Structures are given as structure tokens and as C-alpha cells.
Amino acid sequence: MSRIGWRLCALTAAALLVASQAWSFDLDQMLGPSPNWNSVMAPGTKVVSVETALAHYGSHVPGDGIQGWNLGARIGWMPFGVWHVKRVPLVSGAMELGLEPLFQRFRTKNQNYAGLLAEVRYYFLDLSYGPLVPWISASIGPGGSDINLGAEGGTNRLTGPFLATIRGEVGEYYFIAAQQAVYLGLQGEHFSNGGLNGANRNFSLNTPWAGVLGYSWFFK
């Protein structure tokens, strides 16, 4: 390569380096500083959260697009504080254990579900960027429902009054203050009566997709 070519490469690399540093600076300025996670999520920290989700269930529920929504209020507890995993630092974080009363509305004949979920939520603090923290959660709980889907005499049917749900969520927190955060993510939801409401009534309902939005307050 000629000297001109080498100079062009060097100038391009320098320009990219300057641009990346400027972008990093602008992003840091925009997001703000990272909270002290050892303080925010110290052992014994309590968490109060409210969240809502919009869901799609496919052909089993009438309509296209949004076929249901839910609203929950979670009370959580962080018994262990922040875990620092030296051998696998990417999994360093904090665990939240919680209970969440949940109300679900289906886009059917105004049918509903209400239940109480037990939830485990994990914050990946080593993967955080400033006030942004990725998280993952799983929850399960029984409840009651007046839902009635499927053929009357067939096996493809889902009815109440007993109905249980299993949920998985993944997303990102944004800490707007040291002890307050909003979060956005994806939710997967499974409903089943376990065949407990009678013969031929063990049809399950699952979400191809759902979006979740919430707010959390951390306090001692």
C-alpha cells in the first residue's frame, strides 16, 4: 500500500476513534451517572412495583394485534444484596423475591383472570451501563377465571373457574433516581387449568409476544 493509502487509513481510524469517544461522552452525559448498586440493592432492601402488559395470543383469541392486557402490583424483597461472582463476573447481580396480585383481561366476551403470583427477578449489574440494568424474571401462580375458549364437546377447550399462569420476562431498567426506576421488556405468558375443571378441559393459552412496562421503588 502506498504512503497515501496508509495515511488515509490512519486518518480514518483516528476519525472513528474521535467519533466513538464523542458518542460515548454524549451517551454518558445523556444517561447520567450509575447509582451505587451496593447501596441501592443492599441486603434487606424492599421493592414496590407496578406494571402493565399488552399481549397477543394468536388464533385462539378473537381479533388481531392486542388481544389482552394485564395489570400487576408486586411487593419484593432482596434478601442477599449484590452478589459479586469473581469466576463468572457477567452473572454478578442481585435477586428479588416477590408476590404479585395480577389482573388479566382477555379480548373475548369480557372474560378475566385474577390471581397471586410468586416471582423471582434477577438484575445483571455487571452488564449495566450507567443507570441501565438488564433483568430477567420468572413467575407462577394460581387464580380464578371466567374464560371459556374452544368447542363445547371437543378436547380443544380452556375454561375456569381454576386457571394458573406461568410467566417469563426479560428487559431493561432505567434508574431515573437512585431508588426509582422504570423498565421496559418482553413478556411470555402461559395459561392452563391443568385439567382440573373437568374432562377434555386441558387446553393451554400462550403468548407469541407481549410487551411490559413498569415502575419500581427501592427502599430500606
**SS3 letters across 101-116:** EEEEEECCCCEEEEEE
Tell me what the mean pLDDT of segment 126-145 comes to: 94
134 pLDDT more than 70: yes
What pLDDT was estimated at residue 13?
56
What pLDDT was estimated at residue 26?
46
pLDDT band for position 151 (cuts 50, 70, 90): low
What pLDDT was estimated at residue 23?
43
| For the chain, percent of residues with pLDDT exceeding 90 | 52
Tell me what the mean pLDDT of segment 13-20 comes to: 50
215 pLDDT more than 70: yes
The burial of 151, by beta-carbon neighbours within 10 Å (0-12 exposed, 13-18 middle, 19 or more buried), is given as: exposed
Nearest to 98 by CA among 30, 47, 44, 57: 47
What pLDDT was estimated at residue 44?
96
Sign of CA dihedral 68, 194, 190, 49: positive
Strands (DSSP E) contained in the chain are: 45-56, 68-78, 82-83, 93-106, 111-123, 132-145, 148-150, 157-159, 162-177, 180-192, 205-206, 209-219
Summarised one tens digit per residue, pLDDT across range 57-97 is 877 777 777 888 999 999 999 999 999 888 777 889 999 99
| For the chain, percent of residues with pLDDT exceeding 70 | 78
The pTM of this model reads 0.82
What pLDDT was estimated at residue 25?
42
What pLDDT was estimated at residue 19?
44
183 pLDDT more than 50: yes
Average pLDDT, the chain: 83
pLDDT band for position 10 (cuts 50, 70, 90): low
Contacts of 137 (CB under 8 A, 6+ apart): 119, 120, 121, 122, 167, 168, 169, 170
Contacts of 25 (CB under 8 A, 6+ apart): none
Q: Which one is predicted more confidently, 75 or 194?
A: 75
Q: Which one is predicted more confidently, 2 or 157?
A: 157
